[in-house]
């Protein structure tokens, strides 16, 4: 373990020793919709800005 990681590892071991990561699909679904939508909108906006400056 690197010395720079020691404080964060010590805190995580102390606080999160009983923590188990649980993945819920219903919490993840909005991001599956939101991120591609942001990508499509930003890409079209980005292209219009580039074309306006040409």
Distance CA 46, CA 48 (A): 5
pLDDT at 1 over 60: no
pLDDT tens digits, 4-32: 777 777 777 777 777 677 777 778 888 88
pLDDT tens digits, 25-46: 778 888 888 888 888 887 777 7
- 1: which residues sit within 8 A by CB, 6+ positions away? 9
Assign residue 11 a region: left if phi > 0, alpha if psi is -120 to 50, beta otherwise? alpha
pTM: 0.38
Q: Where along the chain do its domains lie?
A: 19-54
């Amino acid at each position: 373990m690197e010395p720079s990681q020691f404080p964060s590892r010590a805190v995580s071991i102390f606080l999160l020793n009983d923590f188990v990561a649980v993945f819920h699909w219903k919490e993840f679904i909005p991001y599956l919709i939101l991120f591609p939508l942001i990508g499509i909108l930003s890409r079209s906006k980005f292209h219009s800005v580039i074309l306006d400056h040409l």
